[in-house]
Amino acid sequence: MAKNVAQSPLEINSLASLDQKLAMAKRCSHEGVIAGAKAAVVATIATAIPTMASVRMLPWARANLNHTAQALIISTVAGAAYFIVADKTVLATARRNSFKHSDNEA
């Protein structure tokens, strides 16, 4: 019943603006996920190589770092890299889009 009522131009503009903001937020978060995943892959490789090498070459590491400890070291670094890079990317993208949006209004 409310769908038959004509919407004011202000309501139409606010809905379009809301859709635009939601699309921009999805784009920002998607870029963050992609950048975070790439960082996690690089961090995994960069951590796995020295961890595995140290377990094979250093007597202390061989005695104290079992498979679980090695996996924990590698996954912690990968997880931290993912969240740090994803967060920074989302914030940078949002900031960049905010400046573009404010330039268009001025």
The answer, yes or no, to whether residue 7 has pLDDT greater than 70, is: no
Query: Which pTM value belongs to this model?
Result: 0.75
Give me the pLDDT at residue 11, please.
61
Count up the domains in the chain and report the number.
1
Would residue 62 count as lying in a domain? Answer: yes
Burial of 5 (0-12, 13-18, 19+ CB in 10 A): exposed
Domain that holds residue 63: 31-105
The answer, yes or no, to whether residue 37 has pLDDT greater than 70, is: yes
Burial of 29 (0-12, 13-18, 19+ CB in 10 A): middle
**pLDDT band at residue 54, thresholds of 50, 70 and 90?**
very high
**pLDDT band at residue 88, thresholds of 50, 70 and 90?**
very high
Would residue 55 count as lying in a domain? Answer: yes
Percent of the chain scored above 70 by pLDDT?
A: 80
* Buried residues in 33-48 as b, exposed as e (16+ CB within 10 A): eebbeebbeebbeebb
